[in-house]
């Protein structure tokens, strides 16, 4: 999916799963590539575990919108339990892209959500995160899967951003593990 105007992404997750961090990392990587960006969450006083939405806008031109994303081209679902709680495809362009952290196939998700057109992608990001980092935090693997399914920023640029952002914060070993989880999801994401 190439974008000429504003690319709008809506992320669905739960507090504490890193949806806000993933959206911000993507936006900041696009900024470093000379694009205009917005990235912001929508939540109130909820605590960890409560459903949240995060929005990302990326554009070649200045962005003059200052509201949530109601008609995204891409929806990323970090927590698959939300599929039974909210309508994650609400407002999603019928030819848009839906990426879900799930052990199920894209065909299974398409049928469950009655999303007949567009692209549906799945990757078991939680398993990848557990296997590689030892922590069930699926946000960074979801970024790798997203970049494989939609051309937004270059994978190596995102990896560089991860390294810059996290090396001092979490150390070299954990940073490398996060980058490895991004690559793994990039390699194995399923698409229909």
Domains and CATH numbers, the chain: 6-191 (3.40.920.10)
95 pLDDT band, cuts 50/70/90, is: very high
Q: Is 119 helix (H, G, I), strand (E, B) or coil?
A: strand
**Distance between CA atoms of 106 and 113, rounded to whole angstroms?**
11
Give the predicted TM-score (pTM) of the model. Answer: 0.93
Q: What does the pLDDT look like over 105-138, one tens digit per residue?
A: 999 999 999 999 999 999 999 999 999 999 999 9
By the 8 A CB rule, do 69 and 8 touch? yes
Task: Provide the Cα torsion 80, 68, 113, 78; round to 10°.
Answer: -20
CB atoms within 10 A of CB 71: 11
**Distance between CA atoms of 83 and 64, rounded to whole angstroms?**
31
Q: What does the pLDDT look like over 21-74, one tens digit per residue?
A: 999 999 999 999 999 999 999 876 666 788 999 999 999 999 998 899 999 999
What is the residue-averaged pLDDT of the chain? 93
The token duo for 4 is 């000429």
**Distance between CA atoms of 175 and 108, rounded to whole angstroms?**
33
**Distance between CA atoms of 66 and 49, rounded to whole angstroms?**
26
């Amino acid at each position: 999916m190439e974008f000429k105007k504003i690319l709008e992404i809506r992320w669905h997750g739960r507090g504490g799963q890193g949806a806000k961090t993933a959206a911000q990392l993507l936006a900041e990587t696009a900024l470093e590539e000379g694009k205009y960006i917005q990235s912001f969450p929508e939540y109130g006083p909820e605590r960890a575990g409560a459903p949240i939405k995060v929005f990302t806008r990326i554009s070649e031109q200045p962005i003059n919108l200052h509201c949530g994303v109601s008609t995204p081209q891409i929806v990323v679902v970090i927590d698959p339990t939300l599929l039974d709680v909210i309508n994650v495809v609400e407002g999603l362009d019928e030819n848009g892209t839906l990426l879900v952290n799930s052990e199920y196939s894209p065909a299974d998700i398409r049928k469950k959500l009655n999303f007949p057109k567009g692209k549906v992608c799945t990757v078991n990001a939680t398993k990848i995160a557990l296997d590689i980092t030892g922590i069930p935090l699926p946000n960074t693997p979801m970024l790798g899967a997203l970049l494989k399914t939609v051309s937004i920023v270059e994978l190596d640029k995102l990896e560089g951003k991860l390294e810059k952002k996290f090396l001092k914060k979490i150390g070299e070993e954990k940073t490398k593990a996060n980058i490895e989880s991004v690559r793994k999801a990039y390699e194995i994401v399923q698409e229909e």
